[in-house]
């Protein structure tokens, strides 16, 4: 079974536009939306949830006020300023939104007044779409541990793919270069890096290429909106050539992409114009890799 992750060095490069179109073009696949901090693939693929599970990420400190003698040791020990005397003067309290679940307060409290409890940080879903089964997730506001949730999404996609006998897992990776991106890339066969010829495009591309190279993942590049700055597109192409990384396609700028988004459709289904043709060429290109 092949796994392809579509990534970008930063958000807003058109990554999800491409994945939505690939979902419409690819045969016999499972789709995995691993951009769990800001998922938006559902806006194009309209999943119907068939399975929902709680995701328990970081633990949270819970204080038993009946045991607390208000010594203040926990407040001193907490490096995240999650413990303070509450405004209503009812003694020390934990602010769950700040708590990182490190356990330092549990360690220092001689009264054993604090314990760590699991908390629901989000949800993982398996859904039906007209393009095939989709694994995706939602992280609650201000929650972290998105790398772990990405792994849950990928495991769900893998299970579905094995159960349905699929040949491909198509992954919409997280933007940037942090933990969720690495979790989106681990063990995949190919990374398609989507970039734009903006001022920061080359810098972002270089950073994400360093990540894929570090993890030994074969990569190819696609330049989105290449014609908004053809000089920068040439620089990106030359940079890729020097690094020995193939540019599998140049997608032109076209307002039809936004129109397709507004209509909630993959652009290759919405239009048969030049953008759709370019995306089809990219899809053919990565299938030859
Ligand atoms: S360390 Fe324990 S006893 Fe001291 S203030 Fe914190 S919860 Fe209360
Ligand atoms: S678990 Fe860590 S972050 Fe949470 S309140 Fe205790 S010391 Fe602070």
Same domain, 16 and 104: no
DSSP string, 154-182: HHHHHHHHHHHT-SEEEEEPPSSSSHHHH
Dihedral in degrees, nearest 10, Cα atoms 148, 150, 153, 159 = -80
Alpha carbon distances (Å) from 268 to 18, 30, 44, 55? 9, 18, 11, 34
173 Cβ contact list (under 8 Å, min separation 6): 5, 6, 7, 8, 15, 34, 35, 180, 181, 184, 185, 191
Residue 8 domain-assigned? yes
Using the mean position of ligand 2's atoms as its centre, give its distance from the Cα of residue 125 in Å: 30
Residue 195 domain-assigned? yes
pLDDT in tens, 88-121: 667 899 998 889 899 999 999 999 999 999 988 8
pLDDT of residue 11: 73
Does ligand 2 come within 6 angstroms of the Cβ of 144?
no
pTM (2 decimals)?
0.85
pLDDT of residue 87: 66
Ligand nearest to the CA of 77: 2
Same domain, 39 and 78: no
Tell me which residue range forms the domain holding 99.
65-112
Select from 61, 66, 69 the residue to mutate for testing ligand 1; criterion: most ligand atoms less than 8 Å from CB. 69
pLDDT of residue 146: 80
Tokens of 286: 């990565």
Select from 114, 115, 116 the residue to mutate for testing ligand 1; criterion: most ligand atoms less than 8 Å from CB. 114
Q: Which atom of ligand 1 is nearest to the CA of 73?
A: 1
Same domain, 90 and 127: no
Using the mean position of ligand 2's atoms as its centre, give its distance from the Cα of residue 44 in Å: 40
The ranges of the chain with pLDDT < 50 are none
Does ligand 1 come within 6 angstroms of the Cβ of 92?
yes
Same domain, 170 and 256: yes
Does ligand 1 come within 6 angstroms of the Cβ of 109?
yes
Ligand nearest to the CA of 82: 2
pLDDT of residue 92: 92
pLDDT of residue 89: 61
For residue 117, give the H/E element and its range: strand 114-129
Residue 214 domain-assigned? yes
pLDDT of residue 41: 92
Same domain, 162 and 79: no
Pairing status of strand 168-172 against strand 2-7? parallel
pLDDT of residue 144: 67
CATH number at residue 148: 3.40.50.300
Same domain, 273 and 225: yes
Does ligand 2 come within 6 angstroms of the Cβ of 77?
yes
CATH number at residue 72: 3.30.70.20
pLDDT of residue 45: 95
Q: Which of 112, 131, 150 is the last residue of a domain?
A: 112
Using the mean position of ligand 2's atoms as its centre, give its distance from the Cα of residue 236 in Å: 45
What is the number of structural domains in the chain? 2
Same domain, 191 and 240: yes
Same domain, 130 and 206: yes
């Amino acid at each position: 079974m092949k796994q392809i992750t579509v990534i970008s060095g930063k958000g807003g490069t058109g990554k999800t536009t491409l994945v939505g179109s690939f979902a419409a073009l690819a045969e016999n696949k499972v789709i995995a939306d691993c951009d769990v901090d800001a998922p938006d693939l559902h806006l194009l693929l309209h999943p119907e949830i068939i399975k929902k599970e709680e995701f328990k990420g970081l633990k949270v400190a819970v204080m038993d006020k009946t045991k607390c003698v208000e010594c203040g040791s926990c407040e001193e020990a907490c490096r995240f300023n999650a413990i303070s005397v509450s405004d209503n003067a009812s003694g020390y309290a934990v602010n769950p939104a700040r708590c990182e679940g490190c356990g330092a307060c549990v360690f220092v409290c001689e009264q054993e007044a604090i314990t760590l409890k699991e908390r629901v940080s989000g949800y993982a879903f398996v859904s039906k779409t007209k393009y095939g089964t989709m694994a995706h997730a939602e992280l609650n506001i201000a929650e972290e541990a998105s790398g772990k949730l990405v792994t849950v999404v990928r495991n769900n996609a893998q299970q579905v793919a094995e159960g349905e006998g699929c040949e491909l897992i198509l992954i919409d990776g997280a933007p940037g270069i942090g933990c969720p991106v690495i979790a989106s890339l681990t063990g995949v066969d190919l990374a398609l890096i989507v970039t734009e010829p903006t001022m920061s495009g080359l810098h972002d591309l270089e950073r994400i290429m360093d990540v894929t190279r570090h993890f030994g993942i074969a990569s190819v590049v696609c330049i989105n909106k290449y014609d908004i700055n053809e000089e920068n597109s040439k620089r990106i192409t030359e940079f890729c050539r020097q690094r020995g990384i193939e540019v599998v396609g140049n997608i032109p700028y076209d307002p039809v992409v936004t129109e397709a988004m507004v209509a909630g459709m993959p652009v290759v289904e919405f239009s048969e114009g030049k953008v759709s043709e370019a995306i089809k060429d990219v899809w053919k290109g990565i299938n030859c890799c």
